[in-house]
Chains A and B, each alone.
Chain A
Amino acid sequence: MLDARSSLFAALRVALTGGEQRSALARSAIEDRVHTTRLSARPGTNMDLVDQYCNKHIAVHGTVNRIAGFHNVVAATEEYCSQQQLGKDLVVGSGAILDKVMWPPEWSANKRPANVSDKIVLSEAYAGISETGTMVFIPKSRSPASQIFLGTHHIVVLDSSLIVACQEDLWRIIRTDHEVFPRAVNLVTGPSKTGDVEQTIEYGAHGPERVHLILVDV
């Protein structure tokens, strides 16, 4: 008897080619299709990319603060935390901007993965997608996924020059930056939400209840 894989492929070939094996030519045509970038229609806009990005982010229940330079990150974080009455205990991720930030002694800024009881997490996004106001994360050991999903308040730092127009541009950048495609790529658009109770949106289902963006013009 054939094993599951062989008999499944045999069934596929019967349906598709009448049982014939595929030619080398057909094979390489499909290999090509997989590895050549083919752009279909993409959404157009005549807005400034960063403006559109902020608008879209706000439209999905996010908040934004645009600042100049990394040295303003602490002040911007403080502003948000005091607004929300959150205190000064937070988990901090890493990245080109966050690694440069010096936290004054009254802050307890912990550089570690987040856990279920962490209230505030500050992390740095890899890029932004203007099309949908999306924040892109590529969690590595230094900026783990727990930081994206476990905090109640997620404060995200993003270098405004890393905002791309649409998803296709993001894929291009990731391919250039990474020889091997990363283990995880997370596109995050607004806070976590659910419509499972009476089809009415509630925020903070499993992930963050609020997402606050600190957009840095470097």
Chain B
Amino acid sequence: MNTASTEFRKRVRMALADDELQHAMGRAKGGFVLNRQKAIAEFPEFHQMTDAARDIKDHVLMNLDLYLEIYEKKVLENGGQVHWARTAEEASTIVEGLCRRSGARKITKGKSMVSEEINLNEKLEKSGMQVIETDLGEYIVQLASEKPSHIIAPAVHKTRNQISKLFYKHHKPMGYADKVSERKEIVQQARSVLRNHFVESDIGITGANFLIAETGSSVIVTNEGNGDLTSVLPRMQIVVAGIEKVIPSLEDLSVFLRVLARSATGQEISAYTSLYSGPRANHADEEGPEQYHVVLVDNGRSSMLGSEYQSMLRCIRCGACLNHCTVYNVIGGHAYGSIYPGPMGSVLTPLIDGHENNTDLANACTLNGLCRTICPVHIPLPDLLRNHRTQQQRRKLTPFTGRFFFAIWVYLVRRPHFYQIVLALPIWVLNRVGRKSGVIKRIPLANGWTNSRDFPCPSAQTFQRQWRAEMRKFNA
């Protein structure tokens, strides 16, 4: 078994045994799902809207080169600058260069998954800059020296108690002598600490939920308002975004906004939706950044275009597939070992980071299909995961034992008569064992199944045998 796989299993085992994590995940589980359901029930046009969202994304992806050119032209007209990055390394180097050349010391950041993808914080800190995450969830995981465990709720795995301890440790030297433990106090303290960072910051870095070709705007959607203070107050604004984020016009934006917040948090719209379109000079404004940069990141995306994985580029990072995933909800985001967890992450990570290190992700899935039905841009996530599995099987990336048993299975199902003969014996045995109680409590070599649930007792004969017998009776 390769090391990545061993690591994954280890992380899952740790996650399942981690009481605080299980407590936090248990708390979070139902809320998102329920809120989304309520929001959709109140909005009869929702499904029409998701179809429209999918169609817009498909259209843009088929013409992505053209849309990016139009968007770029518009940003330049607005007085902004556009930078192109083929890889994660190129992207973080561009941003680091911009920050270093401008003599920045303190950098505030809005929540951005792409910046996690390109390992931006590490790069900037290595160059001696202070980077401060300003989304409360991101700030918490930054204090804990961790990565986000959910794409829209980065600290969902943390309990209040853990946050309280973290704040005490990090804020006490700043003069906050008392330990805060109530939710309200925690939020107030973060507000107070981060306010000073906002005004002292030299550069603000955010992601973008959408880029609009028509106006050259970057759009950010938040509930806290941190993304806006990050964008507006510093003298330089840097937006880092994947190339798939571009959409045609303002009307298209409205379609996405209507499905995004409902799918993500069950809101009709998030508290703040902001469109930023360049530096202050071009608009004769007295405020806003002096420089406006957009860094567009490929990092594996262009190779998904035109492939069977193209639909994954529709993803608007709403997080609904995580919230609805039976596996994610028990193991949490960190167990996946990648920046993007849950169903969307299990599809995306091997495409960005290669199959070799990520064989288990596509297999840590029950294929119950829920993520497909709730995805607001109709990404067939289970099909894509199945594709991954096929690829791994073909390239012999999965563990030998798994492949060996699969080979036997394939051999058998292709020979129905033989299959029945082979299966009749174990079924008969299982029936003998469990006949009395109706369930089987333990099956040797299959503890993984019986440790946490009972195995229902099969009937004495296979379905096909019974069927044949019935047919004989019927014909006679």
Indicate if A192 sits at the interface (CB-CB under 8 A).
yes
Whole-angstrom distance between the Cβ of A109 and the nearest chain B Cβ: 20
Central interface residue in B27, B248, B280, by most chain A CB within 10 Å: B248
Q: Which of B8-49 contact A (CB under 8 A)?
A: 24, 27-28, 31-32, 43, 45, 48-49
Interface residues in B286-331 (C-beta closer than 8 Å to A) = 286-288, 298, 302-303, 305-307
Contact of A192 (CB < 8 Å), options: B65, B224, B254: B224
Q: Which of A40, A56, A115, A204 contacts B268 (CB 8 A)?
A: A56
A166 to chain B, nearest CB (A): 7
Q: Is residue A75 within 8 Å, beta carbon to beta carbon, of the partner chain?
A: no
Residues from chain B with a CB closer than 8 A to the CB of A93 are: none
Binary contact track B225-269/A, C-beta < 8 Å → 1, others 0: 110110011000000000100001111111101100000010111
Number of interface residues of A (CB under 8 A): 74
Q: Are B283 and A194 touching (Cβ within 8 A)?
A: no
Min CB gap A3→B, angstroms: 8
Q: State whether the Cβ of A168 lies closer than 8 Å to any Cβ in chain B.
A: yes
User: Is the C-beta of A128 less than 8 angstroms from some C-beta in chain B?
Assistant: no
Question: A116 in the interface, Cβ–Cβ < 8 Å?
Answer: yes
B328 to chain A, nearest CB (A): 14
Contact of A205 among B67, B85, B160, B224 (CB under 8 A): B224
Q: Which residues of A contact B287 (CB under 8 A)?
A: 113, 139, 141, 144-146
Which segment of A63-71, A98-106, A178-186 sits at the interface?
Answer: A178-186
A85 interface hit (Cβ, 8 Å): no
Tell me if A193 is interfacial: C-beta within 8 Å of chain B. Answer: yes
Contact A167 B257 (CB under 8 A): yes
**Could you say which residues of chain B place their CB within 8 Å of the CB of A168?**
251, 254
B70 at the interface (CB under 8 A from A): yes
A88 is an interface residue with CB less than 8 A from chain B: no
Which residues of chain A are within 8 angstroms of B85 by Cβ–Cβ distance? Answer: 4
| Residue from B187, B213, B283, B307 in contact with A34 in the complex, judged by beta carbons closer than 8 Å | B213
Residues of B65-97 contacting chain A, CB below 8 A: 65-68, 70, 78, 84-86, 90
The answer for the CA separation of A39 and B85 in the assembled complex, in Å, is 34
Query: Which of A7-15, A76-84, A119-127, A155-163 forms part of the interface with chain B?
Result: A7-15
Query: Is the CB of A164 closer than 8 A to any CB of chain B?
Result: no
Give complex CA distance A41, B303 in Å. 33
Contact of B271 with A195 in the complex, beta carbons under 8 Å: no
**Could you list some 30 contacts between A and B, CB below 8 A?**
A7-B86, A11-B86, A11-B302, A31-B70, A34-B70, A34-B213, A34-B249, A35-B249, A38-B251, A41-B48, A41-B52, A60-B271, A132-B268, A140-B285, A145-B228, A146-B232, A167-B254, A171-B251, A183-B279, A183-B282, A184-B274, A187-B272, A193-B271, A194-B223, A195-B265, A196-B153, A205-B223, A206-B225, A207-B272, A208-B225
- Residue ranges of A at the interface with B (Cβ–Cβ < 8 Å): 4-5, 7-9, 11-13, 15-16, 22, 26-27, 30-31, 33-35, 37-44, 56, 60, 113, 115-116, 131-132, 134, 139-141, 144-146, 148-150, 166-168, 171, 180-200, 202, 204-208
Interface residues of B (CB under 8 A from A): 24, 27-28, 31-32, 43, 45, 48-49, 52, 59, 62-68, 70, 78, 84-86, 90, 134-137, 140, 153-156, 159-160, 163, 183-184, 186-188, 190-191, 194-196, 198-199, 213-217, 223-226, 228-229, 232-233, 243, 248-255, 257-258, 265, 267-280, 282-288, 298, 302-303, 305-307
For the A-B complex with A188-B272, A205-B190 known, give 8 more contacts whose Cβ atoms are closer than 8 Å. Answer: A15-B306, A132-B269, A149-B232, A186-B274, A194-B137, A196-B140, A196-B153, A206-B198
